Copies of this chain bind each other. A is one copy, B any other.
Amino acid sequence: MADKIFRVNMSDQSCLVEEVPAEWLGLGGRGLTSTIVATEVEPTCHALGVHNKLIFAPGLLSGTPAANSGRLSCGAKSPLTGTIKEANSGGTSSQMLAKLGVKALIIEGKPEDGKWYGLRVSALGVTIYEEKELIGKGNFAVVEAVEKRLGGGIGVITIGPAGEMRMSAANISVKDPDGKLRSCGRGGLGAVMGSKGIKYIAVEPTDNKVAIARPEQFKEANRAFAKSLIDNPISKALGQYGTNVLVNIINEAGALPTRNFTGGQFEGHEKISGETMHDTILERGGKPQHNCHPGCVIKCSQIYNDAGKQYKTSGFEYESIWALGADCCVANLDDIAEADHLLDDLGLDTIETSVAFGVAMEAGVLNFGDGTGVCRILREEIGAGTPLGRIIGNGAGSVGRAFGITRVPVVKNQAIPAYDPRAIKGIGVTYATSTMGADHTMGYTIATNILGVGGSLDPLSKEGQVELSRNLQIATAAIDSTGMCLFVAFAALDDPNCLPALVDMINARFDINLTAGDVTNLGMKILKTERAFNIAAGFTNKDDRLPEFFSEEPLPPHNVVWDIDGKTIDSFWNF
């Protein structure tokens, strides 16, 4: 059974199942979502209007037994940044959609009646139901209710109240193997789903298997690939302490943005570190290792229980812990876990919202360190859609504009994540040049600047950072098209067997003969497609800049400023 394009029009609640155009056949994940957005969406359209489209696409290897291949890409024009946007997530839906033969699910139009709907995807197409019961409900309740209606094996893609209220920090959540949540976090895609009147998308389980053209070659390649991942030392650290292993590392590097980006070290870092988290999880009978989708061999997720040994949150990530912790000066993992849980339930990007809280603290809305206040505002203001809730739920830039603050860490209106660009200059190039606003996952130079993966490059020097970011952004665009978790990059950068095995799997799946060079070309093509969309939307190289305070306020302890000039940044696009 050949894959199809499932196209839903919410203006009249219709669905078509279409053949895949020839030029999209070799694409998946981000490569496909970005190509469809660039082809079908008017770049200057209102992101919450009838002309934007929301696209879900499994990766090229999603649904196969390939290790770590269960990422789901979601793309649209972003209401937060105004740029093209792709965000991807674990969970079970990517593999399920792939097995149903869904090459991409394109959602267009907008209901004029103001009603809410639920979608149900089967191999035959998409059925659309009016939804009333779940409107206003949090993501956990949606998953529970949809499972109750349609069975525990159902896949669920959902938005919380934040997405319903079309907040620019709203994410799209995807049910994980334990019925908990993973998120397509960044860029406000949940608001786009909300603007289309869709509360959730249910994905039917199936016994179908994804066809593999050369099964033996695939099996062998997958074995080598999985071994490469398992043996990698970074994979091991991620499996032990989760992504939160980074708190102590980045603090030590003096690059842990603290107190709304006024310092690079947080005195409470030990209290929120991966090591502390690991011990706390063990003490309370949580799970220090957990996979966000079937087939993951790294298992960087975990289950964090509260003091009463009850489940509190899972997928308790470094970025969330940094943002609520160091950036907001909350030195208490339980407060952070509570906020993380609330953010997941409301359906908000933890980075965007927490950085927004940091700016709100600078504005005097609440005090730095007030974790209880954060949770109160999440529940009573954002959850209720009050004016303050909307200001914060629309992200860091929104808070800065509302209160007239000038120290606002955003690029293209998207919050800068957990690595200060003054002290790790490579990641600053990524923030500046990313086609999607500030986003560490677009080109994770921390690997080479800090972790010594793929070589090493002094984080405080200007030299070589553009090349580093460029190479990683190209590779990332390709990896994001395969359905692979980005954490395969550590093995791919350091183990010569890893990338060939990945390419072999793609070749075996589709009976083709790509080379590593083809993969690089794919990455370059994706970046250029995304860049062209942004230019057509009105972006220029003036948007590829960090906020001026990074150039003017030295960051302790290194007392460094951002000093890569515009011309050098612009050379990023010389490829």
Contacts and interface: CB of A to CB of B under 8 A. Distances in A.
A44 B545 contact: yes
Stoichiometry, as copies per complex, reads 2
Contact of A46 (B45, B48, B403, B406): B406
Interface stretch (A335-343, A386-394, A447-455, A504-512): A386-394
A115 interface: no
Contacts of A394: 401-402
A402 B398 contact: yes
Contacts of A45: 548
A167 B545 CA distance: 25
A44 B542 contact: yes
A404 B195 contact: yes
Given A391-B387, A537-B542, A46 B548 contact: yes
A168 interface: yes
Nearest to A389: B387
Interface in A381-423: 386-388, 390-391, 394, 398, 401-404, 406
A570 to B, nearest CB: 13
A536 interface: yes
A30 interface: no
Interface residues of A, number: 37
Contacts of A538: 539-540, 542-543
Contacts of A388: 387
Interface string A516-540: 0000000000000000000011111
Interface string A31-51: 000000000000111101101
A191 interface: yes
A103 B152 CA distance: 76
A401 B165 CA distance: 11
A85 interface: no
Given A387-B387, A538-B543, A543-B538, A401 B168 contact: yes
Contact of A191 (B44, B386, B404, B540): B404
Contacts of A539: 538
Interface string A44-74: 1110110100000000000000000000000
Contact of A406 (B48, B167, B404, B542): B48
Interface string A165-208: 11110000000000000000000000100110000000000000
A547 interface: yes
A329 to B, nearest CB: 21
Nearest to A404: B166
Contact of A404 (B48, B401, B402, B548): B48
Contacts of A51: 548
A79 B401 CA distance: 9
Nearest to A170: B404
A543 B406 CA distance: 24
A226 B166 CA distance: 55
A514 B274 CA distance: 75
A178 to B, nearest CB: 32
Nearest to A392: B387
A493 to B, nearest CB: 34
Q: Which one of A46, A394, A401, A539 has the greatest number of beta carbons of chain B within 10 Å?
A: A401
A360 to B, nearest CB: 10
Interface in A465-524: none
B406 A402 contact: no
B536 A46 contact: no
Most chain B Cβ neighbours within 10 Å, of A195, A387, A388: A387
Nearest to A163: B404
Nearest to A548: B46
A175 to B, nearest CB: 25
A104 B441 CA distance: 49
Given A390-B402, A537-B542, 11 more contacts: A43-B542, A44-B542, A46-B406, A48-B406, A51-B548, A167-B404, A194-B404, A195-B404, A387-B402, A398-B402, A538-B542
18 contacts: A43-B542, A45-B548, A46-B547, A48-B406, A49-B406, A49-B548, A51-B548, A79-B404, A166-B403, A167-B404, A387-B390, A387-B402, A390-B403, A394-B402, A536-B542, A537-B542, A538-B540, A538-B542
Sort A-B residue pairs by CB-CB distance and give the 6 closest, nearest first. Answer: A166-B404, A538-B542, A387-B388, A387-B387, A390-B402, A49-B406
